[in-house]
Amino acid sequence: MRLTAIAGGTGAAKLLRGLVAVRPRHELTVIGNTGDDAEIWGLHVSPDLDTVTYALAGRLDAGRGWGLAGETFRCLEAMGDLGAETWFNLGDRDLATHLYRTRALREGVPLSAVTAELCRRLSVGARILPMSDAPVRTRVRTPDGWLSFQEYFVREKAQVQVLDVEYAGAAAASPAPGVLESIREAELVVVCPSNPVTSVGPVLALPGIADALAATRGRVAAVSPIVGGAAVSGPAGELMRARGLPVSAVGVAAAYAPWLRTLVIDRRDAALVPELAHLGVRAVLADIVMTDPERESALARVVLDLQPSLE
């Protein structure tokens, strides 16, 4: 089956690992968020693409949910000795990815081609597409002014008030080659349990994505990143509030309502089913907190087995 996933970072990585555990890897195309890409020490860092790449390569650090397993941070320590900023944790092996990517981008290679080559080198098996080859940058407005997403999320540890979110450059950016086709031609499009504002939001802000989601003949399902009134991980709650969305599966459904048909929500949120139905979104109840590989595969099966006849 042709399977396309729209993915952010940590939460997406878990569901994607589940999907390739139960389906052949070559069936999967991942559209990765690049709105949180950043320049760190002069290097182009693509945190969400890398999290997904490392996860599918079996190299993601399971405890942290980002970076490589068994990583060391010698260069980071030495950068600290030199007085450079060290709030963004670049590991020694991870640095190779950023050095490789940065050099290729400077030579004019598009991000999509660099990403494909990294996937090939790391034996990912699945296809990972950056959402766009053009720079789109998620920025967060705080009482002290605009921050890049990584400044907000990593440097400030998401502990500042969010007044607004924007996706700078999105309106003028084209989806990367293959992105729209992979949505239109998929038998199933899965929106991973990622932050709807800063992980999936930048993808949706690109011209043509929402239309492709609305027009695809395949099934379109999302997994909620919210259980009860809080995000499974990360700052999705604060960011949803800033965008005027309820911090619940209802807010997720509202963000995706124009094109979403099915939202997989946690069993504990069964009471929200009527509200979702009111938004035109069918709710499917499941155990959506993926705390081990078995739960990742189990949730992947739930998503894959959604009955199209019910949509």
The residues binding a second copy (CB under 8 A) are 41-43, 72, 74-79, 81-84, 92-97, 99-100, 102-103, 106, 118, 121-122
Which two structure tokens, joined as six digits, stand for 31? 């559209």
Query: Do 166 and 139 contact (CB within 8 A), yes or no?
Result: yes
CB-nearer residue toward a second copy: 6 or 90: 90
In 3-state terms, what secondary structure has residue 219?
strand
CB-nearer residue toward a second copy: 76 or 236: 76
CB-nearer residue toward a second copy: 62 or 78: 78
Query: Do 52 and 128 contact (CB within 8 A), yes or no?
Result: yes
CB-nearer residue toward a second copy: 123 or 161: 123
Both ends of the chain: CA-CA distance in Å? 18
Tell the smallest beta-carbon distance from residue 97 to a second copy (Å).
Answer: 7
Tell the smallest beta-carbon distance from residue 95 to a second copy (Å).
Answer: 5
Task: State phi, psi for 282 to the nearest 5 degrees.
Answer: -80, 130
CB-nearer residue toward a second copy: 85 or 311: 85
CA distance 95 to 152: 22
Which two structure tokens, joined as six digits, stand for 134? 């053009």
Tell the smallest beta-carbon distance from residue 104 to a second copy (Å).
Answer: 9
Residue 272 carries which DSSP code? G
Tell the smallest beta-carbon distance from residue 52 to a second copy (Å).
Answer: 17
Tell the smallest beta-carbon distance from residue 103 to a second copy (Å).
Answer: 4
Give the 3-state DSSP-derived string for 117-141, with helices as H, strands as E and coil as C. Answer: HHHHHCCCCCEEEECECCCCEEEEE
